[in-house]
Structure 1
Amino acid sequence: MEYAKDDLQRLVWGQAEQRAAQGDASYVRELGSQLSDRHAAAVEQVRNYERQLAHVVRVLAITPGRDSLVQLLQLLNEKRPTTTSSGVLPRFVASLLAEHRQVADLAATVFDRSTWDQLDELRACLFHELVLRGVDIDELLPLRFWRYELPGWHPLAWLPVHRRDFEADVDFPSRSIGGSAHGVPTGLPAEERVDPPTPRTSKRSTLRDIATKDVHETIVAAVKAGNWGDCEASVFILDEAITPDRIPALLPTLPMPCVDGLGPTDRFEIAVRPAAEIWRMLFATASMGGMYRGGVQGAYGRLWAWRSMAGLSGAPAGASAEEVERQASRSTWFHFEVDAEWFHNDIDADYGIATLSPDRRRIAVLSATDTD
Structure 2
Amino acid sequence: MYEAAEWLCRTMTDSGPRDASVASTVGRITETLADTRSRDSVTLAVDLVDRLLSEGAMPPGESDRLLRSVAAKLVKAQHLRDIEPLFSEVPDGTSGPAVELRACLLGELALIGSGAGRRSLEAYAEKLRELGHPLARLPGARLDMEHRFAVRVRGLGSFKTAKQLRSRLPEAPSTDGGAVAGRGAGDARDDGRANAAARPFRAGGWAREPETRFFTLPSPLSPDDFGISFIKELPLRCLAGEGGRRGSALACATTPDDVLNELFSASYVGGVNGQGQGGAYARLYAWEGFCALMGLPAGVPLLEAVRRAADHRWLRFMAFTDWFHHDTSDVAFAVLDPTRTRVAVLAATDTDADRDGPG
Unaligned runs of 5+ in 2: 1-15, 354-359
Residue 7 of structure 1 corresponds to none
Counterpart Cα distance in 2 of 1:357 and 1:198 = 19
- Structure 2 counterparts to residues 305-344 of structure 1, below 5 A: 305-344=286-325
Of the three residues 314, 332, 346, the one matched with 1:352 is 332
1:236 to 215, 218, 221: 215
Give me the whole-angstrom Cα distance separating, in 1, the residues matched to 2:317 and 2:251: 4
Kept in 1: contact 2:238–2:347 (CA 8 A): yes
Tell me what 1:29 maps to. Answer: none
Q: Which residue is 2:125 aligned to? A: 147
Query: Which residue pairs with 2:225 in the alignment?
Result: 246
- Cα shift at 1:226: 1.7
Question: What is the CA distance between 1:296 and its match in structure 2?
Answer: 2.1
Report the counterpart of residue 205 of structure 2 in structure 1.
227
1:138 Cα shift?
A: 3.1
CA distance in 1, matches of 2:286, 2:315: 16
2:189 to 211, 232, 235: 211
After superposing the two structures, state which structure 1 stretch, 191-200 or 138-147, moved more. 191-200
Partner of 2:40: 67
Q: CA RMSD in A?
A: 3.1
Aligned length: 316
Q: Does the Cα contact within 8 Å between 1:53 and 1:88 map onto a contact in 2?
A: no
Q: Does 2:105 align with 1:162? A: no
Cα distance in 1 for residues equivalent to 2:188 and 2:73: 41
Runs of 4+ aligned residues of structure 1 deviating over 6 Å after TM superposition are: 198-204
Distance 1:221 1:132 in 2: 20
Q: 1:163, CA displacement in angstroms?
A: 1.9
Tell me, yes or no, if structure 1 residue 138 matches structure 2 residue 119.
no
SS of the residue aligned with 1:322? Answer: helix
Q: Distance in 1 between matches of 2:172 and 2:151?
A: 31
Task: Provide the TM-score with structure 2 as the length reference.
Answer: 0.78
Q: Is the 8 A contact 1:208 1:255 kept in 2?
A: no
8 Å contact from structure 1 (residues 61, 69) kept in 2: yes
Cross-structure match for 2:79: 102
Length-normalised TM-score, structure 1: 0.76
Determine the structure 2 residue equivalent to 1:50.
23
Maintained 8 Å contact 1:191/1:271: no
Q: Distance in 2 between matches of 1:86 and 1:288?
A: 18
Shift of residue 352, structure 1, vs aligned partner: 0.3
Match of 2:283 among 302, 311, 321: 302
Per-residue CA distance 1:266-299 (angstroms, 9 max, x = gap)? 4213222221121111001022221111132211
Deviation at 1:119, TM superposition (A): 1.4
The change in CA–CA distance for 1:64 and 1:197 in structure 2 (over 3 A counts) is same
Deviations 1:106-159 (A, max 9, x none): 2x23223389x9611101011111111222x43222222122121533221222
1:73/1:250 Cα in 2 relative to 1: closer, same or farther (>3 Å)?
Answer: same
Alpha-carbon deviation of 1:219?
Answer: 2.0
CA distance in 1, matches of 2:77, 2:20: 27
State whether residues 177 and 225 of structure 2, in contact with CA within 8 Å, keep that contact through their aligned partners in structure 1.
no
In 2: Cα distance, 1:122 partner to 1:262 partner: 46
Helix, strand or coil: the match of 2:131? coil
Q: What is the identity, as a one-letter code, of the residue corresponding to 2:67?
A: P
Kindly tell me: are residues 256 and 357 of structure 1, through their superposed partners in 2, closer, same or farther at Cα, counting changes over 3 Å?
same
Instruction: Give, in whole Å, the separation in 2 of the partners of 1:152 and 1:330.
Output: 33
Offset at 1:185? 4.4
**What SS does structure 2 have at the residue aligned with 1:353?**
strand
- 1:295 match: secondary structure: coil
User: For residues 6-30 of structure 1, what are the alpha-carbon distances to aligned partners after superposition, in whole Å with 9 as ceiling and x for unaligned?
Assistant: xxxxxxxxxxxxxxxxxxxxxxxxx
- The aligned residue for residue 22 of structure 1 is none
Change over 3 Å in CA distance of 1:216–1:73 after alignment to 2: closer
2:241 alignment partner, one of 261, 266, 283:
261
CA pair 365-197 structure 1, distance change in 2 beyond 3 A: closer
Q: How much does 1:353 deviate? A: 1.0
Specify the code of the residue in structure 2 equivalent to 1:225: A
Unaligned runs of 5+ in 1: 1-41, 174-183
Aligned partners of 1:202 and 1:332: how far apart in 2?
Answer: 17
- Cα distance in 2 for partners of 1:201, 1:239 equals 13
Matched, 1:272 2:253: yes
Q: Residue type of the partner of 1:324? A: A
Larger Rg: 1
Counterparts of 1:72 and 1:172, CA distance in 2: 27
Deviation string, structure 1 residues 74-119 (Cα, Å, up to 9, x no partner): 333455352233587321211111222223332x23223389x961
* More moved, 312-321 vs 84-93: 84-93
- Contact between 1:57 and 1:88, CA under 8 Å: does it hold in 2? no
Question: Secondary structure at the residue paired with 2:145?
Answer: helix
